[in-house]
Structure 1
């Protein structure tokens, strides 16, 4: 091979090596990752571009509760929502709120829920026995929404009337509705007091119209009792109450003045055997009822004590009419016939 041929071969090899090196370098440069500069999405440069946000106040149905508020600022400036209070509502959701102004125009929607109104209470009431029938019922609802209270059906009773607004709207004030009932077997009642005298031996019954009783004691002819209620049944029978759940049919009695039950004021009397005592006693009158005490024997009324009460006795006296009186601690005088279970029995 001549020298020229060898020189051409060397130059060709050199050119091939350089081309390969350049190609490799170019490939390496293309494959090398480019540097990425991280930018905080929540960091905005403040500029002088004006921005405006409308704040809408809506209820949960999308109705406008009050005119929209406008908040003005510049891009990148922090947003400050105005303090808003809408009577009868409370805020439940905010939509579209950002920390900064991000564009020239935007909107924020505040959604409010209607507050709960005060409850409406319903009571069923026995007008004659003056007691509740069953448990009270509570109605609840949003402020301004309507309500309607229905009278419950009560077994054995008939509805007479209602007191209170059975229809209306829930407000910031609670309401009460009363439904008054009467025993369906009762036609008419009279709550006035009086006295009755037994005509002939009779049992005491637990309710008007009863035919059986668990009371063992029978009332004797000639005995007199105070009555607190008279009931006329739909069967036209009339019954008298002499105590709680203690009734006598009209056919076994007659009305009287009850004078024999009242203390007779003597023209004059002398106290005999007056002495201090330290005893207790139980008031014995009519179950569930009260009896008067007196400022002094045969004097004016002072207070009342209830059948079954335990009282402290501090003085005992008798007068020349044979009436025994006891002085109750801080409660005046009471005839001894209204006291039982004295402890100790003798003082």
Structure 2
């Protein structure tokens, strides 16, 4: 219900109270006068209603309401797009003088927010908390790229300037680790030439991984990064990196897993289940185009996903196909519903 609707209801209630009162002056309203208090002389009256914003600017031409002294005032229902009424000055129930004015003050409504995200373009994850810009409808905005420690800004997507509207907007800023010079997302295989430690990130000098890779072993890689110091590192898993100095590129034929010829026919079935992704809180795990294949996308720890296919190989490794998201090893899924399908 608008302010004017509530005001009309209040005034109607007052009229009813006057009509049912035992005395025309019973229960007088403080600050108002009843018709019997006014001189019934048929004096013409004019009320001017001003519509102002909070800065005192006229929002539209004043309304002029004509009547007779002693008559009840009926304010017009006014709607001003983008504003809402916050204050009334000079309001009376009756025409009390030949000339009077009422001032209605409106406040600009708030526009929808501008959401700003900082995104690591290589690791494909948010860095830092989203920022929200707010302001009145029609007010100009200018989005400034957030400063992210350890990262350099590459580019942005979205309107950096504009006006607040009734529609929310999004601005994405893409960053790269400031020590990274080039990246390559193409996959391949590497063969270890020396005993090689595994590090949590490119350029690291200490590691918590106790196992070292042995000469002659072959691994699939998912990203190659050249640092600003011109060293090159390969990712062989999530947060698992090895230095180029200890390896050589290979076709990977020796290291590829050869599945039985009847793998897909004998050991897979369609399912209709849901499951919860279980990896590391706040982290994402990759899905694959096919079992043991290339990365396709990621799913987030705690996310509930729809499962449409189940596969198992002779080694007991179970894979599930996530609807529209590729294949995910079964060890990353919990709370299957139904448990068996």
Q: Please, what TM-score do these two structures have when normalized by structure 2?
A: 0.69
Matches within 5 A, 1:105-120: 105-120=99-114
Matches within 5 A, 1:129-208: 129-208=123-202
Q: For residue 33 of structure 2, what is the aligned residue in structure 1?
A: 42
Q: What SS does structure 1 have at the residue aligned with 2:207? A: coil
Query: Over alpha carbons, which structure has the higher Rg?
Result: 1
Q: Is the 8 A contact 1:243 1:288 kept in 2?
A: no
Q: What SS does structure 2 have at the residue aligned with 1:336? A: coil
Q: 1:184 to 1:265 in 2, by over 3 A?
A: closer
Q: Deviations over 1:32-52 (max 9, x none)?
A: xxxxxx9x8713254422211
Deviation at 1:262, TM superposition (A): 3.6
Q: Is the 8 A contact 2:224 2:232 kept in 1?
A: yes
Q: For residue 210 of structure 2, what is the aligned residue in structure 1?
A: 216
> How many residue pairs are counted as aligned between the two chains?
262
Distance in 1, matches of 2:104 and 2:290, equals: 70
- The runs of 5 or more residues in structure 2 that have no matched partner are 1-24, 267-277, 279-283, 302-306, 319-329, 332-341
Please tell me the root mean square deviation across aligned C-alpha atoms, in Å: 3.4
Matches within 5 A, 1:245-256: 245-256=239-250
Q: What SS does structure 1 have at the residue aligned with 2:176? A: strand
Q: 1:265 to 1:93 in 2, by over 3 A?
A: closer
Q: Is the 8 A contact 1:293 1:332 kept in 2?
A: no
Matches within 5 A, 1:261-340: 261-264=255-258, 288-290=285-287, 330-336=309-315, 338=317
Q: Is the 8 A contact 1:293 1:334 kept in 2?
A: no
Q: What SS does structure 2 have at the residue aligned with 1:331? A: strand
Q: 1:70 to 1:182 in 2, by over 3 A?
A: same
Q: Is the 8 A contact 1:189 1:231 kept in 2?
A: yes
Q: 1:288 to 1:97 in 2, by over 3 A?
A: closer
Q: Please, what TM-score do these two structures have when normalized by structure 1?
A: 0.67
Q: For residue 69 of structure 2, what is the aligned residue in structure 1?
A: 75
Distance in 2, matches of 1:251 and 1:86, equals: 70
Q: Is the 8 A contact 1:205 1:212 kept in 2?
A: yes
Q: For residue 260 of structure 1, what is the aligned residue in structure 2?
A: 254
2:53 corresponds to 1:53: no
Distance in 2, matches of 1:336 and 1:329, equals: 22
Deviation at 1:79, TM superposition (A): 0.3
Q: For residue 118 of structure 2, what is the aligned residue in structure 1?
A: 124
Q: For residue 30 of structure 1, what is the aligned residue in structure 2?
A: none
Deviation at 1:181, TM superposition (A): 1.1
- The runs of 5 or more residues in structure 1 that have no matched partner are 1-37, 273-282, 295-302, 309-327, 342-347
Q: What SS does structure 2 have at the residue aligned with 1:153? A: coil
Deviation at 1:259, TM superposition (A): 2.1
Q: 1:267 to 1:158 in 2, by over 3 A?
A: closer
